[in-house]
Structure 1
Amino acid sequence: MRRELPGLGSDPASVRQRIEGMEQILERMFVVPGINKPVGLDVILSLIPGVGTISAAALGSYIAWEARNLGMSKWQVARMAGNIGFDMLLGAIPVIGAIPDFFFRSNTRNLRIVRKHLDKKHPGSRTLDVQATPGA
């Protein structure tokens, strides 16, 4: 009997856990003081001309790759690829590309697409979304 570490399996719950973790790293790694907005590696990499934008797109493509392995439709994966491509175009604008990248969060959009699929096709993979509620 082979034992797998939590989150490293190919089951839908493990895939969800990996995708949610990647989205958090890319879009919500820390909160910027003063504006109280989450920022992740995607925006930071957009500040590096050329290679940063390509790196961010490659990391974001991991979510689409996992979605494809889940058996999501070609249409859903194409939508995700479109989000990644659009985000890459925005981020390609030298220096100021980080500003639109800050608002268009392709990885969060792609996570929503995957969650919708998983909630419909694999409801047992659902996790509690525990986020701090403002004012609580």
Structure 2
Amino acid sequence: MATRTWDAGMNGRFSDRAEHLRRLRRLGTIARLMDTAIRIPGTGIRFGADSVFGLIPVVGDAGGALVGLYIVNEARRLGLPPAKLVQMLGNIAADTVLGSVPVAGDVFDLFFKSHRRNLQLILDHFGIHPDELRQR
């Protein structure tokens, strides 16, 4: 496997590592808010705005999908290859379609974290450990 570089596929844009980390931190914050912002006390279960929005029929799942599409667009702008973008879109589609099923979809949303999965795909592509996104 080839070594990833920060400016690979960037056409000279955003070649500064600090700018990349800033953008990735923003995506990390969005993914955390959407998927794991709140922990249920006494359990290891975490949920976020996506699970709460999912309680609102149709509109809630569509809102979560729009946020997911924003993350995919940022990944595209950062230079992720089309195959990974398709995988990210598949995660969003699964979350939207399966999450829209009444009751069972709400339970599904608690355990399938599409935004966190997509963030991990981005981080893996660039060879970044999630700890690097923490502010120092």
Mapped pair 1:74 → 2:74: no
Instruction: Return the letter of the residue paired with 1:84.
Output: I
Partners of 1:117 and 1:102 lie apart in 2 by 26
C-alpha deviation, 1:102, in angstroms: 1.0
Q: CA RMSD in A?
A: 2.2
Partners of 1:99 and 1:69 lie apart in 2 by 33
C-alpha deviation, 1:117, in angstroms: 1.4
- Work out the percentage of aligned pairs sharing the same amino acid: 32
C-alpha deviation, 1:36, in angstroms: 3.3
Gaps of 5+ in 2: 1-17
Partners of 2:62 and 2:132 lie apart in 1 by 31
Which of the pair has the greater relative contact order for Cα pairs under 8 Å at 6+ separation?
A: 2
C-alpha deviation, 1:51, in angstroms: 0.2
Mapped pair 1:43 → 2:51: yes
Task: Answer yes or no: is the 8 Å Cα contact 1:26–1:41 preserved in 2.
Answer: yes
Task: Answer yes or no: is the 8 Å Cα contact 1:48–1:95 preserved in 2.
Answer: no
TM-score by length of 2: 0.78
Matches within 5 A, 1:2-81: 11-81=19-89
Matches within 5 A, 1:107-118: 107-118=115-126
TM-score by length of 1: 0.78
- Bigger mean CA deviation after superposition, 31-40 or 100-109: 31-40
Partner residue, 2:132: 127
Instruction: Return the letter of the residue paired with 1:62.
Output: Y
Task: Answer yes or no: is the 8 Å Cα contact 2:34–2:115 preserved in 1.
Answer: yes
| Count of aligned pairs | 117
